[in-house]
Every structure is written in structure tokens, then in C-alpha cells.
Amino acid sequence: MVAQRDAHQLYPFAGHWFELDGLRMHYLDEGPSSGPPLVLCHGNPTWSFYYRTLIPELSRRYRVIVPDHIGCGRSDKPQAYPYRLAQHIENLEALLAHLDLEAITLVMHDWGGGIGMGYATRHPEQVARFVVFNTAAFYLPAVPWILRLARTRTLGALLIRGFNAFAGLAVWLAVADRRRMTKPVRRGYLAPYDSWRHRIAVHRFVQDIPTTPDHPTRATINGIDAHLSIFRDHPMLIIWGAQDWIFTVKDFLAGWQTRFPDAEVHVLGDAGHYVVEDAHERILPLMRDFLARTGTQQETTNTG
């Protein structure tokens, strides 16, 4: 009950639900319905709570859509379900088609990069620009040993689903400034993942890291990567926490810059993987400026 209360105080948003093949997918829909749409895609083991510090200000001018992937946050957590990247992309496709959005700005973190860019490569006409936080939409073999261990069926399940080790450690290891992780914030992150059953997607996301050539998701991520070049001239803002020991500057940020050499890049040397948690006060002005400079004349008029 304490965890739920803390989450509500820090996350005072009205929930919406989308019926998806008999499952309920939770999402936030904040801001003016006629505003330019921003779609914020979270990763693992977070949920829409990750973006709570950005939503109030962004929703003053923009329509801010923040889904919880199936198995995450307040969405349903089925036990027999294909928790693969391809499925998460299809789920996002269905939600955004239901909402009938156009000229979308995709904001992506962690697994949200693969999910968001997977949607974008299937619907390039619907996407106007990108904001990228410590993520990937391409395969690199830079997978730390601790993630390889967590992928195992038996030990990984015991650690992640039994002891909540992945989400529990992330609230400490994914930030550079641990003072940001107050007890209410930690409780907020962990609130949806309070039992073995409710942690299934946390484990399945880890298992879905395509470390071998024959992994089903390797073909999905390679297919996304093969089409990223169609967005080479789209506006892209990259904000990167340099103290991320998984999505490193030398590997993953470099991968984005190779593919998008004209992207606007800001490296925050004192921020970690949860870069929004570490630096939302600095991120918001960068996003406001980027969105204002790259908006259409109609958008500028409507949000001015």
C-alpha cells in the first residue's frame, strides 16, 4: 500500500486503457488533444513512471502519449505471451493507429528505442522527429556478463522474478546521483513489479536481448537497422548519460552518431542510464528548444 501511495503522489496522471487482443494496455494521454503528439517509449525495467518529470511541462503545449508495454507498469501482465520485440512493436502500432496520430515525435529510452524505431520503420510517413535517450535500435555485441547471467532460464528467473534483482538493482545502478533515488521514487519504480507473476516481462525483456545470430529478435533488430537511413534527414535530438555502463558512449552513442551524423547530441557526463532521472531539469530546456526549432509553422502557431 505504501508503494502504491508513493507512486500516486509522484505520478498524478489519469490512466487510459486500450483493449489489445483481450489484454488491457495502459497509457497516459496528457495535454491538449489537438497538440502535436509526443510518444514516449520506456524500456526495461521501468514503466511510464520514468517520464513523470517531463510530462507536466511538455503537456502544456503537446499531446503527450506514454504507453506501458504489455507486462509493464499498469498494463496487463499475461504469463503465456510472446514477449518479443516484434510483438511490442505491433502493440505500439495498434495503439497509435487507435489514437489516429500524425507527425509523431518519438521519445525513446532503453528498449523503447527498438520498439519506437521499429514502429517508425514500418510507418515512416507518421513520424516527424526523434528524441533519443540511452538506447539502441541496432545490434552490438557489447552485452555485459551480468545481463548474460540474467538471461538464463533458471538462475535468471530466480534472480529477476524471485528476488526482483534486476529492477531492484537498477534503481541504484542506473543513476549517477543516488540522492535522486529517494525512497518514494524507488517505490514508484518498483510498484508494478511486486510479485513473481508481475515480473515476467522484466525477465522476458532480458531474455529477448539477441546475443546469438539465431535468436528470433536478431532478425527483427537487423531489419530495423537496415531501414534507419530513411530517417537520416529527420530532426533528431540525442541526450546521453555518459555514466551508463550498458549503453556506453563508445559503443551505442557512437552507433547512433554513425547512422545519424547530423543529429544534435548532448552528452551529460554526470548522468547514468536513467538519464531522465539524473537530469530532467537540464533535459527539459533542451527538448523545448529542439521541439520549437524543428516544428512546422502550423505547429508553432498552434503551440505558441
Residues designated catalytic:
110, 244, 273
Q: What is the rounded distance in angstroms from the CA atom of residue 243 to the CA atom of residue 282?
A: 16
Q: What is the rounded distance in angstroms from the CA atom of residue 136 to the CA atom of residue 109?
A: 8
Q: What is the rounded distance in angstroms from the CA atom of residue 198 to the CA atom of residue 191?
A: 10
Could you tell me which of 240, 292, 289, 287 has the C-alpha nearest to residue 266? Answer: 240
On whether the CB atoms of residues 74 and 192 are closer than 8 A, the answer is: yes
Grid coordinates belonging to 237: 535530438
Q: What number of other Cβ atoms are within 10 A of residue 79's Cβ?
A: 8
Burial of 93 (0-12, 13-18, 19+ CB in 10 A): middle
Between the two ends of the chain, the Cα-to-Cα distance in Å is: 42
Q: What is the rounded distance in angstroms from the CA atom of residue 174 to the CA atom of residue 135?
A: 13
Q: What number of other Cβ atoms are within 10 A of residue 258's Cβ?
A: 9
Could you tell me which of 284, 228, 285 has the C-alpha nearest to residue 261? Answer: 228
**DSSP secondary-structure letter at 288?**
H
